[in-house]
Chain A
Amino acid sequence: MAFGTESRKRKAITRDVPETSDVESDAEFGDGILEGILSQSEDDSADDSVEDESDEEGDDEDDLEALDSDEIPSEDEADGVVEKRGSLQEDDHKPNYTVTTDANGGERYVYDEINPVYDSDDSDAAAATNTIGNIPLTFYDSYPHIGYDINGKKIMRPAKGEALDALLDSIEVPKGWTGLTDPATGKPLNLSQEELEILRRIQTNEMPEEGYDPYPATVEYFTGIEEKMPLSSAPEPKRRFLPSKHEAKRVMKIVRAIREGRILPYRPPEEREQEEDEDVHYDLWQDEQPRADHVMNIPAPKMAPPGYDMSYNPPPEYLPTKAEKQAWDSTDPEEREKEYLPTGFDALRKVPAYDTFIKERFERSLDLYLAPRVRKNRLNIDPASLLPKLPRPEELKPFPTVCSILFRGHEGRIRSAAIDPSGLWLATGGDDGTVRLWDTSNGRQIWSVKIGDEEAVNVVRWRPGRDAVILSAAAGEDIFLITPPVVDPETETASVALLDTGFGYATNATPALTAHGQRKEPVAKWTRPGSRLQDEGVLIRITVRTTVKVISWHRRGDFFSTVSPTAQKSAVAIHTLSKHLTQIPFRRLPGIAQTVQFHPSRPLFFVATQRTIRSYDLQKQELVKIIQPGARWISSFDIHPGGDNLIVGSYDRRLLWHDLDLSTRPYKTMRFHSKAIRAVKYHKGGFPLFADASDDGSLQIFHGKVVSDMMENATIVPVKVLKGHKVKSALGVMDIDWHPREPWCLSAGADGTGRLWM
């Protein structure tokens, strides 16, 4: 590092000149002198990295300032500067080192041996100097020595020659002989050649300095020629010779200001010193006081003290292995744990320059003016802990997990499926117009009847209650009430009786009259379906005006409601089995009716239109509540057997759980399917389960536990996705139902199979 800066400094100096000259050349200097230097500087800077430029600029500025401080730089000075620099440049022109490769393979600068010129520089090494000071040498006349050298040793008197020697000397005077004795050394004082030359010059009235040119060629900065025709021949105006009043005024103003102390003629010297001292370093956190933790206050970062690994020659255990080095290299600089890699050098002088110095400075600057000092809040939260605490699905057993029995036989889709209240039979209706009955426990089809000639069977539903076995099915505009011939004669008789009692009532009833006194067209006709179907067990056909899509039975088994979404007024109809009576409860509905449900315990009736579900009190005949699930198009809904909760499935893939006591908005929205949800159903036999069926061919089983405690919300846990139904023409599972006792789920698929999941 130290080495690096040194070399940098030297380099910076070498390149000072051209830069300065660049600046100055415009002003006064001719380009000629500086041409070569400029080009050389270019050569030099070619080797140097760009990084150095910031330093150079700093130096340049210093120089410029220095120049600026003299108001008008005199030519000589300027010239001198240039020349001096030029000579420096000259010295540096040939490097005083050679570059070789050292043991580590790096560059090594080998400098020439310094030749100490003792005769010129080193006065210590000269002959002993008398240290007696400024006293006459005659004091030592009686001594054999004439003084003491710097080491306190006697300087012996030089031997005096014999008289003959003195005579010979006087005859052959050596050059520069003066006949004097050097008082300092006691030796004869002889003059050197140069001194003699200077003496000669002085004697011949020449300039004593050698090579001095008393008449140098004049460099004509200003012309010395007097113009014959000056621009103006007007005599000098008088004002040139009068002191200016205006100037006097201004001077007086300044003088007054100085007197009053408004202008300080000189800056106080201590101030100036301070200014020089305080460079450009600011300690941002100099007067940092410990403050309370706050967003707007970020305490200064505490740097960790340097460790062993930061040493230039760390212990070997701190040095990274090859793999670690590779890993460090391969990681992104931002993700590195340490910004540096511990490196060992066996000598401090082998430590190279800090290679990221500039980069680091640059980034610090960026940090200072770009990056807001905002605390980076690391989220040290385990994502799992954010999830609500739900019981594991394994703990919520039993729920259906695998397809145990497959019911195959329908041609085309199965549109609807229902398990009878005893759990023995499964009824399905499909596109082939047949209603089929299957044995739930072994998958055997035990009975089938074709009720729709051209129409598909849209819905099959069992009448609740164990006293009779009645199946209702709808194909087209017809609703059929069926007693399948699989039951014992007792039950069959009871079922037939239940279905047939209404015939007498219907014939005895007085037909409703319109306002005009005409017989009103009945909304539905209750008839016998014909002998063929009657033999099969189909006992009653109810013909309404439009296609029936939904049948929903009241829990007592006397009422059932049908929905014909395409109808205008008679979309929802309520049928009374014991009277063979069909009523239209709603003259107008806000939207297309989708499905209906009777409340499992109270006299409430729920009607779902595309976007809302309305609940009506059948006794008071008023609207109780409007539930807004927020779904775009409700496909189905089901009421929890407890009566306080509702699940809604929608064609926009959402499954919504409503708590009727809480709000008209959903308590929970689940969006797990990739396609529309066709059917939703609660388990009605005591298991806290519900399921939905979707067009993506899967069923999802949820654990939905409702507690009687009003303070506690329902626990909803998705427990199983049941896949298996094939998607046919974008339709997957059409209908689902639950076994009345067991946690078994039944699904009817568009692929023509029914599946029982256990």
Chain B
Amino acid sequence: MDTPMVDAGRQGQVLVYFHTESPDIELPEGKRQLLVPTDVRRYGLSQILNSESMLDTTSPIPFDFLINGTFLRTTLDEYLTANGLSSETTVNLQYVRSLIPPLYEASFEHDDWVSSVDILSSTSVAGTWGKNSVAQGQERILSGSFDGLFRVWNKSGQAIVTSASASAGGHTSSIKAAKFISPTQIASSDMDRVVRVWNYREAEDQLSAKVKPTLELYGHKRSVDCIAVHGPSNRILSASADCSIGLWSTEASSAPAAPPSLLPSAKRRKVTTSVTIPQRGALSMMSMHTAPATAVIFNPLDPTVAYSASQDHTVRTIDLVTSTLVDTRTTSHPLFCLSALPGISSQLLAAGTSARHITLLDPRVSATSNQVMTLRGHTNLVCSIAPDPNSNYGLVSASYDGTCRVWDLRSSRQGTREEGGGSVGEAVYVIDRESQKDASKKPVGGEGVKVFGVAWDKEVGIVSGGEDKMLQINTGRGITKA
């Protein structure tokens, strides 16, 4: 007798209060409260929001819905039951633009391990620094490889250009980092302690291009593992295993002379180069870490401030004008990568650690707590992080466990005691290596699957490269009906 009655009640409606933190999709004041059927899922709620009476969008925007910091993955009814809530409560639904699941798009094959990737597009940082903006469809992907060469690809998988070999003034050792400075300039660093600046010019048909080394920068004593560029001020930052951070100029005229003791002796240079390239030294060499520096970035809002991460567990804030150390943030693990998340109101840095997680740090001097949040889920060292270009709260990380993971910082939970408490985030999507799709077992120690570099662009998607000698592109396509 009772059951149908209860069912009828369950199938009923619940009062929902919609709110968002994105002002452009905010609902007018009067429409925020709504009675919705409890059996709808994310898709249904998204449809309701996109409908004429609500947001009245021209093309539907996929939304995700957060209740109490967790994404709604079930029906509202199931959520209410699981949390022991009655259907008479008002549910606070925060709606955000949906993270589109990254689907495999393409793989570009390399001769050797891919160490780093970068993207040039109209919306990428380097693209905005050029004189002419990058045309739609003319996005370029830059990949540095362990064979000492970097390659520039177009989106259809054609290698537009490959950098010069060692004999032609190229890198004598594995490239560890490569980045677009502007649509016409590329910087790369290698294990042979050199940072090189290249001129990149595409042919008219945009299917071939020329890269010419313009500058060799000496000053580091060990492998240069990471570089950061700032086009407008022509500055390059480098982090090296010799524990120092280098600040360089991309212009030969403004750079000091190279330290002669660090120039390769003629005897050791196995191949004599036919071209002579200007060799320059560092504007400033800051030996501030006590262990190999692994990452360095410019402050995205202020190019006179830089952050560096190191295996000595610290993230240091550097004032580039005076080349002095401003602040040191000590974490509990060696750090291997660093990325800024400029979108969130405060400055936030994400650092990948050897302890298989990502630590979010607030580098401001006033900040009292060290770690804001921890993102857990990787099963091996995290070696590269890129922010989400579409959202202020997303990021993607690459790890030696052969996966890239997409995170949304809005979804968090309280960490268990074992995790050391605090706020803990979990991955929204996991991108596996396409080359390992058929592998039945996960290789031990990330053998053959390590992902060394990842980049995320609005136009291109998530680009990652690693030990499988592949550059893999994943993009969000379509919307899954949850």
Contact = CB atoms under 8 A, between A and B. Distances in A.
A404 B381 contact: yes
A718 interface: no
Nearest to B418: A394
A490 B447 contact: no
A237 interface: no
Interface string B190-227: 01010000000000000000000000000011110100
Contacts of B383: 442
B291 A741 contact: yes
Contacts of B113: 444
A406 B444 contact: yes
B348 interface: no
B381 A758 contact: yes
Given A441-B336, A490-B262, A758-B354, A402 B380 contact: yes
A489 B265 contact: yes
Interface string A432-451: 00000001011110100000
Contacts of A406: 443-447
Interface in B430-477: 443-447, 450, 452, 467
B421 to A, nearest CB: 14
A158 interface: no
Given A403-B445, A443-B446, A488-B220, 12 more contacts: A398-B333, A402-B379, A402-B380, A406-B443, A406-B447, A422-B292, A424-B292, A441-B294, A443-B450, A488-B242, A489-B264, A741-B311
B268 A489 contact: yes
Interface residues of A, number: 33
A405 interface: yes
A742 interface: yes
A580 interface: no
A758 B311 contact: no
Given A406-B445, A444-B146, A488 B222 contact: yes
Interface in A399-444: 402-406, 408, 422-424, 439, 441-444
A485 interface: yes
Interface in A574-627: none
B414 to A, nearest CB: 18
B447 A408 contact: yes
A491 B242 CA distance: 12
Interface in A696-730: 724
Contacts of B193: 488
Contacts of A442: 383, 400, 450, 452
A742 B354 contact: yes
Interface string B44-76: 000000000000000000000000000000000
B261 interface: yes
B334 A404 contact: no
A398 B173 CA distance: 34
Contacts of B381: 404-405, 758
A367 to B, nearest CB: 55
B445 A755 contact: yes
A462 to B, nearest CB: 15
5 contacts: A423-B311, A444-B146, A446-B174, A446-B191, A741-B291
B241 interface: yes
A742 B381 CA distance: 14
A756 interface: yes
B246 to A, nearest CB: 13
A491 B381 CA distance: 30
A443 B443 CA distance: 14
Given A404-B354, A404-B445, A424-B241, A742 B334 contact: yes
Contacts of B223: 424, 439
Q: Which of A405, A446, A487 has the most CB of B within 10 A?
A: A405
B354 A423 contact: no
Nearest to A535: B270
A742 B332 CA distance: 11
Contacts of B263: 489
A406 B355 CA distance: 16
Contacts of A486: 191
Contacts of B221: 487-488, 490-491
Nearest to B259: A490
Contacts of B444: 403, 406, 724, 755
Contacts of B146: 444
A423 B291 contact: yes
Nearest to A424: B241
Contacts of A403: 444-445
A158 B271 CA distance: 169
Contact of A424 (B222, B268, B418): B222
A707 to B, nearest CB: 23
Nearest to B466: A442
A338 to B, nearest CB: 46
Given A406-B444, A406-B445, A485 B380 contact: no
The 6 closest A-B pairs by CB, nearest first: A406-B445, A488-B221, A406-B447, A403-B445, A490-B261, A405-B445
Best-surrounded residue of A444, A488, A742 (most CB of chain B within 10 A): A488
Interface in B256-297: 261-265, 268, 291-292, 294
Q: Which of A439, A441, A444, A493 has the most CB of B within 10 A?
A: A441
Interface in A445-469: 446
Nearest to A408: B447
Contacts of B336: 441
